[in-house]
Amino acid sequence: MVGSESRYRAFLDTLRQDHLRRDLTSVVVRDARTLEAGGRSYVNLASNDYLALRFHAALIERAVEWAGRYGTGSGASRLVTGNLDLFDGIEAKVARLKNKPAALVMASGFQANAAVLQALFDRTVLGAEPLVFADRLNHASMHFGCKAAGVRQQRYRHGDALHLAELLTQFQGDSRPKFILTESVFSMDGDVAPLPEIARLARAHQATLIVDDAHATGILGDGGAGLSDGADIVIGTFSKALGSFGAYVASSIALRDYLVNRCSGFIYSTALPPPVLGAIDAALDLVPGLDAERSLVAGLAADFRAAAKERGYDTGASATQIVPLIVGTAEAALKLGGELRQAGLWATPIRPPTVPQGTARVRLAFTAAHANADIDRLLEVLGQAVVPEPDKAASL
């Protein structure tokens, strides 16, 4: 350990020099809009609780009720200790929301991508290493799942259906099973994948389309159903707009049964605890009726984006509640994040390797807990900050 410890320290030193070191900052959360740190209050612009559900009375009540009735833990994996009947109701609700025959609850979004993709791409079951066509900016957990399966990804340019079509055509005569893997809304850019084109390509090339709907479920689509129309398999999380924790896979019944038998992250992991299931269950009941919240959030983000662009900020291709301010270097992102923090606004600088080199940014996420006054304040502070020169940013 002594020798390795010095290497870990050296790694951290290098990160610090490169403005890439991350540290945990303790905060106290009072409600969906505000948090406190170091005795000061901040408007929280960094949370994925897009519908502000985590403090909703219905979620808290059902979480408390289910904790009281079923206990605080689930005791073992669903195959070992018996499958709490609570899962049946939740999985039926998810399947209905996603318009799929079946759903399976998993432990977390990261774990679902890591474990489900590993199981889906299992070459011993498929008979060959599958061909996996993946958006270059897919979430780390999707890359992790591919890596765990030992699959080499064919990566297409971000959001570029033409490039995907070229790659698929290159492998047209290849009989190996094909999969296309994308997020619907990209977590660090807030842009939307061209899903209708991608779904068309999937059909034309007999590829299975897997969509990670983490940042759309609840907050986008009809009745908050997300943006996964046309996907064969949808993976998503309850940790963002649904205000809780845990994840799901929505699919055919056969695929669900396959995962129960083959997905090690499902088989060998303790089931989600009853209070968490209570919060998920209540959120699923509320989501279809939250159109007013969805349009409030969309309006806040659209107004902010237009005004930020007017002030010279680069918001990329954002079209959703996630709006990045792309500034280029990690140092510039830290500086802008620091200025916002000074002004009582909590927004996180996002740096490589989470985003590609030269595209460091401050990521803003708007929620139903925000109001126009928060946007005004944000714009006021951004108006006083120095906007990094775009070509300087692009060259880094």
Which residues are the active-site residues? 48, 139, 183, 187, 212, 215, 240
| 251's tokens | 């699919």
Q: Which amino acid, residue 96? A: R
Which pairing describes strands 233-237 and 207-212: parallel, antiparallel, or unpaired? Answer: parallel
212 binds ligand PLP (CB under 6 A): yes
Total of residues contacting ligand PLP (CB under 6 A): 14
109 vs 328 by CB, closer to ligand PLP: 109
Burial class of residue 354, CB neighbours in 10 A (0-12, 13-18, 19+) = middle
Contact between 46 and ligand PLP (CB under 6 A)?
Answer: no
User: Cα(248)–Cα(79) distance, rounded to whole angstroms?
Assistant: 17
The residue among 182 and 315 lying less far from ligand PLP, judged by its C-beta, is: 182
Q: Are strands 178-183 and 131-135 parallel, antiparallel or unpaired?
A: parallel
What is the closest distance, in whole angstroms, from the C-beta atom of residue 169 to ligand PLP in the complex?
27
The total number of residues written for the chain in this structure: 396
- The closest of 237, 226, 229 to 202, measured between CA atoms, is 229
Taking the least distance from each CB to ligand PLP, the nearer of 283 and 382 is 283
Helix H or strand E encompassing 62? helix 57-70
Of 110, 121, 133, 248, the one binding ligand PLP (CB under 6 A) is: 110
What lies within 8 Å, CB to CB, of 135 at 6+ separation is: 155, 156, 158, 159, 181, 182, 183, 186, 193
Q: Distance (Å, rounded) from C-alpha 377 to C-alpha 29? A: 20
Output 41 or 269, the one with its CB closest to ligand PLP. 269
By CB under 6 A, the residues from 261 to 300 that bind ligand PLP are: none
Query: Under the criterion CB under 6 A, does residue 250 sit at the interface with ligand PLP?
Result: no
- Is 237 one of the binding residues for ligand PLP (CB under 6 A)? yes
**Positions 167 through 206 that interact with ligand PLP (CB under 6 A):** 183, 187
Interior angle at CA 379, CA 375 and CA 380, nearest 5: 115
Burial of 60: CB neighbours in 10 Å, binned 0-12, 13-18, 19+: middle
Q: How far is the CB of 227 from ligand PLP (least distance, A)?
A: 12
Question: Quick check: 108 binds ligand PLP (CB under 6 A)?
Answer: yes
Q: How far is the CB of 263 from ligand PLP (least distance, A)?
A: 16
Single residue of 93, 109, 137, 364 touching ligand PLP by CB under 6 A: 109
Q: Looking at beta carbons, which residue is closest to ligand PLP?
A: 109
Judged by CB, which is closer to ligand PLP: 215, or 294?
Answer: 215
Cis? peptide before 288, omega within 30° of 0: no
Is 113 a binding residue for ligand PLP by CB under 6 A? The answer is yes
**Residue 49 touching ligand PLP (CB under 6 A):** no
User: Nearest distance from residue 8's CB to ligand PLP, in Å?
Assistant: 24
Based on the shown chain and the rule CB under 6 A, indicate whether residue 247 belongs to the binding site for ligand PLP. Answer: yes
Q: What is the 3-state secondary structure (H, E, C) of 106-117?
A: ECCHHHHHHHHH
Q: Using CA atoms, how far apart are residues 309 and 388, in angstroms rounded to an integer?
A: 13
Among 217, 228, 239, 251, binds ligand PLP (CB under 6 A): 239
Structure-token pair, residue 73: 């833990």
x/- map, 115-144, ligand PLP, by CB under 6 A: ------------------------x-x---
Q: Which of 107-115, 118-126, 150-158, 160-168 is the region at the interface with ligand PLP (rule: CB under 6 A)?
A: 107-115
Residues that bind ligand PLP (CB under 6 A): 108-110, 113, 139, 141, 183, 187, 212, 214-215, 237, 239, 247
